[in-house]
Amino acid sequence: MKVVVTGGSGFLGSHLCEALLRRGDTVWCLDNHCTGRAANVAHLVDHPRFRLVRADVSRACTVPGPVDAVAHLASPASPPDYGRLPLETLTAGSLGTQNALLLAERNEARFLLTSTSEVYGDPLVHPQPEEYWGNVSPVGPRSVYDEAKRYAEALTAAHRRTLAVDSGIVRIFNTYGPRMRPHDGRVVSTFVRQALADEPLTIHGDGSQTRSFCYVDDLVRGLIAMLDSHCAGPVNLGNPAERTVRELAGLVLAATGSSSPMEHLPLPVDDPTRRCPDISRAHELLGWTPVVTLEEGLRRTVGWFSGAPVPGRLRQPLEI
* Neighbouring residues of 228: CB distance < 8 A, sequence distance ≥ 6: none
**CB 31, CB 13: distance < 8 Å:** yes
Contact in structure between 193 and 249 (CB atoms under 8 Å): no
Buried b (16+ CB within 10 A) or exposed e, 175-207: bbbbbbbeebbbbbbbbbbbbbeeeebebeeeb
**Measuring CA to CA, which residue among 139, 118, 122 is closest to residue 271?**
122
Residue 2's SS3 state is: strand
Outline where DSSP puts E strands in 101-166.
Answer: 110-116
Catalytic residue among 145, 151, 176, 215: 145
Beta bridge partners of 110: 69
Pairing mode, strands 242-244 and 210-212: antiparallel
111 phi and psi angles, rounded to 5 deg: -120, 130
* Inter-residue contact 135 to 123 (CB < 8 Å): yes
120 in catalytic set: no
Residues belonging to the active site: 145
